[in-house]
Amino acid sequence: MSGRVGRWAIAARFMGAVCGAALLLQRHPTWTVQQVKSALASTGDAVHPTGRSGEVSVLRQGGGRIDLERADQPLIFTAPTSLGWGLVGRGFSGTKHLSTSDAGGGSAPWSVSIHTQSVPQGAKLEPLAETLVAGTTLGLRLTVSQQAAAGDGTGFVVLTRGADVRRVAFWFHVEVPRLRLDPHRTLHRPGLYHGNTAGKASRVSSYRYPQRGLAQGVPTRLGGPEQVFRFALRRHVANFGAAIIRRARGVRVSPRLVAGSDENRVVGYTGMPVSLNPYQGFDRAQPIVGAVLPEPGTYELVFDTPTRAKPGAFTFRFWVNDTSPPSIRLLGHTGRIGRPIRVAVRDSGSGVDPRSLQAKVGGRSASSSMDAVRAAPIRTVSAVARPSGASTRAATSAPARHRDGATAHAQWSMTGPPPSQSAPEPIRESRNESVGASSRRVSGFWTAATDTSGPISAAGPAP
């Protein structure tokens, strides 16, 4: 499910749970939040896939579809409302405890069983008692053999008493990491680096968590060869990451950022190659990965090849602790009607995203477009902007090379009616919570550009 339909469907499910909780609290004002949650989750109906038999995974349905009539009389409360062992390795053995309390069902015993939806070969989950009484605690032991297969373990701990059934969802994932088998190159300092996936091994084809691509165009089947770069973070920093700036013709490469040489430990959403900038939209693939406020430790930048895609050479920029906004420099001393206004935007950290360039002319929003984008080690762009209702003409700039950072050249053509001579709109400092990029004023002009860490606001020429 995607787009607005998907978002509305997700919102509807959340609203159903919120309304159900409100009704239960209205009827049972002495219940705690945990007890309301238990009543809703343990009494849910099984969700079945459309047109097929069986039941949807607990990873999608949780406790099931809410049944408010049953939740109003839960008979027994459980805590927690779901059991999760997380990522476990071969040879693991661990016990979780399920506490219970009376919810109107009295002291009659409940039978205990395990209903599995999926369990990897070599993994076993078993209750430490066959029955329980409300007010007691149930132990559940998970054991994983030394030869266990990788995969998810999902299902329910089921409590049964006559016709009454209460369920508690569980999940674990047996991991058998293969990324640590790949050779790696160590990154000692920020800068430009070259890589090549051609001729490398293909040991990893998927990464988690998150496991999905988050945006259209982000590949999730990575069956081609991968190359690994390792970085040891020895102190606390605001961020670090990498941005692919160039690829050989026809080559496809998709980056991931993981911790501990484990493909199952992606550092989160920022470890996926997708834009998370709320000023630019959340649904755009972008070949950049990073970590925000990371803990010191060992991390791997993995450049993988989508299934059946061409491996080959690529270049990426690696940065650490980018907390400074881009610098902006006006190219030329004056701006005249009919001639382009050109500025250079430079960033020595994560770089400049040329697609984010925008401007205001005379205090009014100006439409802008890029004529060309070229990648040297530096990005150079040409852009055209105009006041609303004015005509535009294209202007281009040649690519520039600088050793000390990324630079973007932008040109705004001021054609048509002259801009308003009123004072420019006040500029508020614009910050991103991860690095805090802020606005800059250069030579009487407010210009706009964002680096990968946050936006810089913009307005038109000062009088």
**For the residues 425-438, what does the mean pLDDT come to?**
30
* Cβ-proximal residues to 371 (8 Å cutoff; 6+ apart), any chain: 381, 382, 383, 384, 394, 395, 396, 411
* Residues 115-140: tens digit of each pLDDT: 999 999 999 999 999 999 999 999 99
Residue 367: predicted pLDDT: 55
78 pLDDT more than 60: yes
Residue 15: predicted pLDDT: 58
Residue 255: predicted pLDDT: 98
281 pLDDT more than 90: no
Q: Are 381 and 326 in contact (CB under 8 A)?
A: no
To the nearest whole percent, how much of the chain has pLDDT over 70?
73
10 pLDDT more than 70: no
* Residues 212-245: tens digit of each pLDDT: 878 888 999 999 999 999 999 999 999 999 999 9
382 vs 337, residue with greater confidence: 337
Query: Cα dist. 68→18, 24, 92, 158 in Å?
Result: 12, 8, 38, 19
Structure tokens, 347: 């960033």
437 pLDDT more than 70: no
The count of C-alpha atoms lying within 13 angstroms of the C-alpha of 53, restricted to the half-sphere facing its C-beta, is 0
Phi, psi for residue 307 in degrees, rounded to 5: -55, 130
pLDDT tier, 342 (very low <50, low <70, confident <90, very high otherwise) = confident
Q: What is the dihedral of CA 104, 109, 110, 113, to 10 degrees?
A: 160
142 vs 457, residue with greater confidence: 142
The mean-pLDDT minimum among 222-226, 275-279, 336-340, 343-347 falls in 336-340
Q: What topology does CATH give the domain 179-320?
A: Jelly Rolls (2.60.120)
**For the residues 328-341, what does the mean pLDDT come to?**
72
The mean-pLDDT minimum among 147-151, 260-264, 337-341, 410-414 falls in 410-414
Domain residue extents for the chain: 15-174, 179-320, 327-451
- Give the residue among 366, 236, 375, 249 at the shortest CA–CA distance from 311: 249
**For the residues 26-46, what does the mean pLDDT come to?**
94
Residue 424: predicted pLDDT: 31
Residue 419: predicted pLDDT: 33
Residue 333: predicted pLDDT: 64
pLDDT tier, 257 (very low <50, low <70, confident <90, very high otherwise) = very high
Q: What angle do CA 17, 19, 22 make, to 5 degrees?
A: 110
148 pLDDT more than 90: yes
Cα 211 to Cα 268: distance, rounded to the nearest angstrom: 10
Residue 194: predicted pLDDT: 97
* Residues 379-391: tens digit of each pLDDT: 333 334 444 333 3
pLDDT tier, 272 (very low <50, low <70, confident <90, very high otherwise) = very high
Place of tokens 């299934």: 307
Residue 361: predicted pLDDT: 72
**For the residues 162-181, what does the mean pLDDT come to?**
96
314 pLDDT more than 60: yes
Residue 154: predicted pLDDT: 97
Which class in CATH covers the domain with range 15-174?
mainly beta
User: Is pTM, for the whole model, over 0.85?
Assistant: no
401 pLDDT more than 70: no
155 pLDDT more than 70: yes
Q: 3-state secondary structure string, the chain?
A: CCHHHHHHHHHHHHHHHHHHHHHHHHHCCCCCHHHHHHHHHHCCECCCCCCCCCCCCHHHHCCCECCHHHHCCCEEEEECCEEEEEEECCCCEEEEEEEEEEEECCCCCEEEEEEEEECCCCEEEEECCCEECCCCEEEEEEEECCCCCCEEEEEEEEEEECCEEEEEEEEEEECCCCHHHCCEEECCCCEEEEEECCCCCCCCCCCCCCCCCCCCCCCCCCCCCEEEEEEEECCCCCEEEEEEEEECCCECCEEEEEECCCCCCECCHHHCCECCCCCCCCCCECCEEEEECCCCEEEEEEEECCCCCECCEEEEEEEECCCCCCEEEEECCCCCCCCEEEEEEEECCCCEEHHHCCEEECCEEEEEEEEEEEECCCEEEEEEEEECCCCCCCCCCCCCCCCCCEEEEEEEECCCCCCCCCCCCCCCCCCCCCCCCCCCEECCEECCCEECCECCCCCCECC
